[in-house]
Each structure stands twice: as structure tokens, then as C-alpha cells.
Amino acid sequence: MYEKLENLRKLPEEKKFEYIWRIGNDIDNGILPHWRNISETINKELGVPEEEYLSESAYRKMYQSAKKFYDEGVFNLETNSEELTQLKEAITENKKTLAKIRTENLEINKVYREMGRSELLADRVIEAAQLLAKEQPFISPSPLNIIQDNKKTACLCFGDTHYGVEFTVKGLYGEVINSYSPEIFEDRMWKLLEKIKEIIVKEQLTTLNVYSLGDELDGILRMGQLMKLRYGIVESTIKYSEFICLWLNELSKFVNIRYQMTTGNHTQLRMLNGKKGTFEDENMSIIIKWFIKERMKDNPNFELIDNETNMIFDEVSGYNLLGIHGEVKNMESALKDFTQIYNVKINYLIAGHMHHQKEQEVGKNTKVINIGSIIGLDNYSLSLGKSANASATVLIFEENQGKSIEYSINLN
């Protein structure tokens, strides 16, 4: 190893560039073989902080730049010469380049740290799911060996569960218009399951696409929301994840499930007073997805489909469907934008977020569809002047017809 060669040691009286100049000369004269594999030692000898380490290429370029001036004899010029002025300008540019390289190295190291943190977090979530699987194992259903009818595709769409929040909305006479809590959420989901079982029998479904459209949790956007939560953010995440796995496991006894989910705005972490979108990938929905994937991995009737865009993308009976949370100003414009961005014809854009149902035809077999919410009427709905029941929707698509049937399931 070259690091062991005494020539690489920086002499006490040597300054930084004198040291680099000597190393370069030793390589040119064959005392040292080449620049490869010595950058770490040079960084250490110069006392460079580890996060600011320069590559062997950077040091080689420093030496080669200086050598060009040396070979031209510019170091023998008079102090006031034009050539010396040019040399000083070149040195200044070199310093700027070095500063840029140092900054880039800091950013690269930051990315590596973020990647390492995400991988560590994923490991911890998987460990939690594995521990729960041992303590509270699901009864795995028997495989449903049924031939799928590809001419018909069924999709269950639900979202905006806002798990953990508790509130009561009252009317003009003091009557309760809507109440919500973790227990009410669970009651609504079991009611939804019973309704879906009826649809499975009626439509003779063998496979069901289940689309979760985001905002599984509540209370992350603003400090004031934390006051309405039964549990903390982390505990809410685990409790919701475990319940939805239990629910999906029960549903999988009656139909094969293809599960996809989006990230939402309420599950986005806004750390250090960050504004919307500052930490776009710091989203608790991703944690929930990791948990579901691990917890349900042994279920033969369940498949989690993970799209790297954190959106839902599917082919339904010959039509392309895109699912988003829905925090967009105009759904019709968003459909056209997504079609252009991804160079894929989007026939159906499906979203939650607005807490009420709405459908708009954009073209032939091309629609934008807003899905209702599990939470139902809340202060957000009232601020929009919208009133809607808690609901979920099952959409049936058929070849050459597009969306042919819609089941709007009232959960109040």
C-alpha cells in the first residue's frame, strides 16, 4: 500500500501546496508509482476533515495546473509582469474550483447520510412488524385459486382516514352531525368490509384492487392539531398500520388483493418549521407501506405494488389509471399535466383530499374522480363549504366501456 511509503508523509516545514508539489514530482520521477489510492493519505496528512475529503483527481489537477506554469518558466518572471497577473488570476480560479469541489463533496456526503438513515429506519419498521407477527400472528387464509376475468376490473378506493384524531361536529340545534375517533374509524372500516363482501358476491369478483389515497394519519401539519390526537404520531402510525393489516388480511379471505397507496400531505413531516414540500420524502405513509409489506408478506392472497413515484398507477381493463392524494388546484389540468410529464395516456385520475365525491368527464373514457373520506365531515370540509358523508367507493371497469359501475358506500 502506498500509504506506508515514507515519501507520503508531510514534512513539518512543508506548507500545503509545497507538499502537493513534492508528491507530484515524486510521481513524475518514479519515486511513487501513481496518484491512485493515495488521496486518503494526502487528506489525512493535510488535516482535511473527513466530510471535506478531496479525490485523487482533485490533487492531481492541482499539481498539473501548477506544473504548466512551472514548465513555461513563469515562476522566474518579474513581480509586475502581465504574465504574473495572469498567474494570480489562474490561482484564484483554481481556488474557486476547489471550493466548488469541497461543497459538492459535502452535498454528496449528506445524501449518503440520508440514504443510510432511511435504510436504518426501514430496518426498524421491519423489525417492529416482525415482532408483532410473532406476538399476534394472523391466521393466513388459504390461497384463492380462481381464474381472473381480465375483462372486468374492480377497484376499492378509500382515503383520508386521519387516524388518531378525535372530534365532534354539531349542528344548529346542538345535534351531532359527525363524530370521529379511532374506534369510529375501526367501526366504519368493518362496515366497509361487509359492504365489499356483498359486492364481491354480486359482481363475482376474484381480484380486487385496493387503493389507499393518503392522509392515513392526522396531526403532523400544524402544532395545534396535536391537541386533538388520542396518540402520538409514532404510536398512531403503528396502531393504524397494524389495524389496516388485520383488515386486509380479513378481506383477503374472500378475494385476491392488489394493494397500492399514495403519500398524503397530512402525513408529511414538516421538521424544523419547514414549509410544505421541504421534506417531500419524509412521509409517514412510507413507514406504513414498509410495515404492511412486511406484515403481509406471507399472505398468498395479498400483493403490495410499490410505485417509486409514491403514486398509484394501474392498467384497468385496457385503461390507464393514476391515483394521487389530490392536493392539486385543478384535477382536469393535473390529468393533462401527468399525461405530458410521463408520456403515458391517463384515462382516469383518482384522488382523495377534498373529503367529498365528485366526477368530471374530460373526454371519451377519460375522467377525473374525487373519492370521499373515511373521516367524513370535519372542520376542513366546513372551511370549504362542503358537506359529505363518510364514504368509500368501488369502481368497476370493463373492456371497451371504461368505468361501467360505481358503488358509493355510505359509512355514516
257 and 396, same domain (yes or no): yes
75 and 162, same domain (yes or no): no
Tally the domains of the chain: 2
Q: Would you say residue 317 lies in a domain?
A: yes
192 and 82, same domain (yes or no): no
Residue ending a domain, among 75, 106, 137, is 106
257 and 397, same domain (yes or no): yes
184 and 242, same domain (yes or no): yes
Q: Would you say residue 70 lies in a domain?
A: yes
Instruction: Kindly report the three-state secondary structure assignment for every residue of the chain.
Output: CHHHCHHHCCCCCCCHHHHHHHHHHHHHCCCCCCCCCCHHHHHHHHCCCHHHCCCHHHHHHHHHHHHHHHHCCHHHCCCCCHHHHHHHHHHHHHHHHHHHHHHHHHHHHHHHHHHHHHHHHHHHHHHHHHHHHHHCCCCCCCCCCCCCCCCEEEEEEECCCCECECEEEECCCCCEEEEECHHHHHHHHHHHHHHHHHHHHHHCCCEEEEEECCCCECCCCCHHHHHHECCCHHHHHHHHHHHHHHHHHHHCCCCEEEEEECCCCCCECCHHHCCCCCCCCCEHHHHHHHHHHHHCCCCCCEEECCCCCCCEEEEECCEEEEEECCCCCCHHHHHHHHHHHHCCCCCEEEECCCCCCEEEEEECCEEEEECCCCCCCCHHHHHCCCCCCCEEEEEEEECCCEEEEEEEEECC
Q: Would you say residue 368 lies in a domain?
A: yes
Q: Would you say residue 130 lies in a domain?
A: no
Q: Would you say residue 325 lies in a domain?
A: yes
90 and 161, same domain (yes or no): no
Q: Would you say residue 139 lies in a domain?
A: no
240 and 370, same domain (yes or no): yes
Q: Would you say residue 249 lies in a domain?
A: yes
pLDDT of residue 226: 43
Give me the tens of pLDDT residue by residue for the chain, a chain 412 residues long.
444 467 788 888 788 888 888 888 888 887 787 777 788 888 888 888 887 888 888 888 888 888 877 776 655 544 455 666 666 676 677 666 666 666 655 555 554 454 455 555 566 666 767 777 777 777 778 888 766 666 899 999 999 999 988 999 988 999 999 999 999 999 999 999 999 999 999 999 999 999 999 899 875 544 444 444 556 677 788 889 999 999 999 999 999 999 999 987 545 554 334 444 444 555 678 888 988 998 999 999 999 999 989 899 999 999 999 999 988 889 999 999 999 999 999 999 999 988 889 999 998 889 999 999 999 998 777 776 777 899 999 999 999 999 999 999 999 8
266 and 333, same domain (yes or no): yes
Q: Would you say residue 127 lies in a domain?
A: no
236 and 340, same domain (yes or no): yes
52 and 190, same domain (yes or no): no
pLDDT of residue 32: 81
98 and 205, same domain (yes or no): no
pLDDT of residue 263: 84
Q: Which domain holds residue 276?
A: 148-410
174 and 50, same domain (yes or no): no
